[in-house]
Amino acid sequence: MELTGRIIAVLPANSGVSARTGNPWMSQEYVIEVPGQYPRKCVFRIFGEDRIKQFNIQMNEDVTVSFDIDAHEYNGRWFNEIRAYNVVRGQAAPIPGAPVGAAPFAPTADAATSPFPPAQEPASEGSADDLPF
């Protein structure tokens, strides 16, 4: 899944040592706000010191975040985890409801003043089709 928006919070990094393997670990959480009529916010996590440094996410940066969602159970309760695996900088947020890759509609002067579509040329005389479209 992907979200495109602006980073509105960079939370403190968490680190420790794995009890199972003895290896050090690091993770950091960020909050992204997706623009629209009703802006949405989402907290996502980046796991691994190398990825945190590679992505180097800063406040007020426009980014597109690719992430996976997973859930796990702990003491009878379920928790969601949103883990980012890729971050692309400088992506402009899409306009809600606009088709992807569509150019904005710019009517011509004739089309703007006429309430009807332009007339079509009549079909040749040998044609049995007399429908206007």
Tens digits of per-residue pLDDT, 71-123?
999 999 999 999 999 999 985 544 454 444 444 444 455 555 556 666 666 55
Q: Residue 68's pLDDT band (boundaries 50, 70, 90)?
A: very high
110: which residues sit within 8 A by CB, 6+ positions away? 118
Return the residue matching tokens 């403190």: 12
pLDDT, position 62? 95
- Backbone φ, ψ for residue 49 (5° rounding): -60, -35
User: At residue 73, what are phi and psi to the nearest 5 degrees?
Assistant: -105, 140
The tally of CA atoms less than 13 A away on the side-chain side of residue 106 is 3
The pLDDT of residue 119: 63
> Cα Rg for the chain, rounded, in angstroms?
26
Q: Is the pLDDT of residue 23 over 60?
A: yes
The closest alpha carbon to 118, from 130, 129, 133, belongs to: 133
Asked if residue 48 has pLDDT above 80, the reply is yes
pLDDT of residue 46 exceeding 70:
yes
pTM for the whole structure: 0.65
CA angle 92, 61, 49 (to 5 degrees): 125
Q: What is the rounded end-to-end Cα distance, in angstroms, of the chain?
A: 42
Other CB atoms within 10 Å distance of the CB of residue 30: 24
Q: How far apart are CA 113 and CA 125, in angstroms?
A: 32
The Cα–Cα gap between 85 and 74 comes to 24
pLDDT over 60 at 11, yes or no = yes
Question: Per-residue pLDDT averaged across 46-69, rounded?
Answer: 94
